[in-house]
Homo-oligomer: A and B are copies of this chain.
Amino acid sequence: MENDLEYIYLVQKKAALLQGIMALLSWDEKTHMPNDAIMERADQLKLLQDEIYMLLTSRKLSSALCRLRNQRLASRHRMIITELHKDTQKLRRIPKEFLERLTRAETIASQAWEKARKKDDYSLFAPHLKRLISLKRKEAGYLNPKLKPYDALLDEHEEGMRESRLTDLFSYLKEELVALLKKVQETKAYKNHKELELDMPKEAQESLYHELVRKMQADGEALSIDCSAHPFTTRISAHDVRITTRYLNPLEALFSTVHEAGHALYEQNLPSGFRDTVIYNAPSMGIHESQSRLWENVIFRSSEFWDGYHDEFISHAKKKIQKSSLFKGINQVRPSLIRVQADEITYCLHIILRFEMERDLISGKVPAKDARSVWNKRTKSMFGLKPGSDNQGILQDMHWSLGAFGYFPSYAIGTIYASQIYKAMEKGIPNIRKHIMSRDFKSIVDWLTKNIHSKGRTMTAEQIIRKATGSGLDPKIYIDYLHDKYSKIYRFD
């Protein structure tokens, strides 16, 4: 038994090291690597991926885990064994040849997506999407043959989440959001809104946003920030978490930077006692997104924050803007075609559109060849807008091209969790609004570390949220948050 325990810790340590190395290879690919090296980088990644697969699917590990599961062990060990067993059994059910086929198909599909984006033509991507869908259905069967395919895929990103629950959740959310949007649209402020025009040198943005991230890091280490086409966060080792950002326009860069820094705080504050084990991870994508969206939206788009930050921020802009105009511009509500530019009210509508699309694609109700027309029809009915092109429509997100079906709902779940967390923090942290105004984030980081980050995978996401906020996933709190905030900005009841 002693040896089995030692062995499973050793395997996890080795897997963690290899995963960290893979994270570095990927980070580098997107930040520093010359384009010409892409094939060799793929070979390097595949080599390590194969090693991790062999390590985690070995009969030796499986036998050790089986023996350990029948032992009486301290709860720490039991927790690790349960999660590791779950992960590895799932992996063992997927044949290696299939996994390789899927990976190859994803690589080809994402290249096809890039090409289709360049030509702004979905039909170049459609056959690849079709092939991916068929492979993902097959993968779902391996992952959990007892579940509906889409449920099995959902479960990978949000353990325990089911299509039926999401259908209910989203139907409530849609109704409430549409109603709220209507209220906003009927106000004078909405009708009179002028487009925000903001210009700021890249160097100024860089130094401002790096400083904000340092404030978010409270007393932690400085976080490394590089540029990449699509911002992301990665953990190379426990002491080496990195984010990337991009500078398209000043506000997008700000929100994108603090969004990633929110993810980074999670990765940096995982339970150190569980380092190099499966527990040293977030339990779901939804709870991870709750952290990025808490910082991005709830904190950094709040009136408290901009009350305290406006003067410093605008002093770096090429043209001055009044405090109230900037704040309203930042929180401008407007139905639009592009998810990543959406405001807080319409954002989840974009997610619901994608949920419905991928659910129907995976079930076969919508064939890949019809996806464009269905997308456009549903966009029209959801937002009253018609995509001017595929890039503004079905080609706008890269997720499906990477095989990430069932991921989109995590954004909505995270958004809802974020509002729940903020409500709980308001109770738990005296003067939180003052802290936000003065950019003194230590109490917030401490609260998040204690109640969210340091739990790792010792509980499910919903258990963590329930313990931290008093309730499970609760869209009503999100609607209340939105109502409260936007009724003040747009002046309605």
- What is the minimal beta-carbon distance from A39 to any residue of chain B, in angstroms? 8
Do A40 and B20 have beta carbons less than 8 Å apart?
yes
Asked if A21 is an interface residue, CB under 8 A from chain B, the answer is yes
| Cβ contact within 8 Å between B18 and A224 | no
> Among B18, B237, B242, which residue has its beta carbon within 8 angstroms of that of A40?
B237
A429-460 near B? 1/0 per residue, CB < 8 Å? 00000000000000000000000000000000
Q: Select which of B18, B21, B36, B240 is within 8 A of A36 by beta carbon.
A: B240
Report if A175 contacts B (CB, 8 A). Answer: no
A47 touches B28 (CB 8 A): no
Task: Tell whether A421 is near chain B: CB-to-CB under 8 Å.
Answer: no
Decide: A240 and B34 in contact? CB cutoff 8 A: yes
Of residues 91 through 108 on chain A, the ones whose CB sits less than 8 Å from some CB of chain B are none
Residues of chain B within 8 A (CB-CB) of A17 are 40, 43-44, 47
Residues A240 and B24 in contact, CB atoms below 8 Å apart: no
Counting CB contacts under 8 A, is A236 at the interface?
A: yes
Q: How many angstroms between the C-alpha atoms of A17 and B222 in the bound complex?
A: 31
Residue A221 interfacial (CB < 8 Å): yes
Complex contact A224–B47 (CB within 8 A): no
Helix, strand, loop or mixed for chain A's interface? helix
Interface centre among A34, A43, A221, A242 (most CB of B within 10 A): A34
- A residues 12-33 with Cβ under 8 Å of B? 14, 17-18, 20-21, 24-25, 28, 32-33
Which residues A206-253 have CB closer than 8 A to chain B?
221-222, 224, 226, 236-240, 242
Q: Does A37 contact B (CB under 8 A)?
A: yes
Within the assembled complex, what's the spacing in Å between the Cα atoms of A44 and B32?
20
A:111-160 near B, CB below 8 Å: none
Interchain CB contact (< 8 A) of A44 among B21, B39, B47, B226: B21
Bound CA span A12–B25, Å: 20
A47: chain B residues at CB < 8 Å are 14, 17-18, 21
A48 part of interface (Cβ distance < 8 Å)? yes
Which residues of B sit under 8 angstroms from A240, Cβ to Cβ? 33-34, 36-37, 40-41
Report the Cα distance A47→B237, complex, angstroms.
14
In the complex, chain B residues whose CB is within 8 Å of the CB of A43: 17
Query: In whole Å, how far is A377's beta carbon from the nearest beta carbon of chain B?
Result: 45
Closest 6 CB pairs of A and B: A40-B237, A37-B240, A36-B239, A37-B239, A37-B237, A17-B47
* 15 further A-B pairs in the complex, CB-CB below 8 A; given A21-B47, A32-B226, A36-B240: A18-B47, A21-B25, A28-B28, A34-B221, A34-B222, A34-B224, A34-B240, A36-B239, A37-B236, A37-B237, A37-B239, A39-B239, A40-B237, A41-B237, A41-B240
Listed in ascending order, the chain A residues whose CB lies under 8 Å from chain B are 14, 17-18, 20-21, 24-25, 28, 32-34, 36-37, 39-41, 43-44, 47-48, 221-222, 224, 226, 236-240, 242
A–B Cβ pairs within 8 angstroms, 15 of them: A17-B44, A18-B47, A20-B44, A24-B25, A32-B242, A33-B236, A34-B222, A34-B240, A36-B221, A36-B239, A36-B240, A37-B239, A37-B240, A39-B239, A40-B240
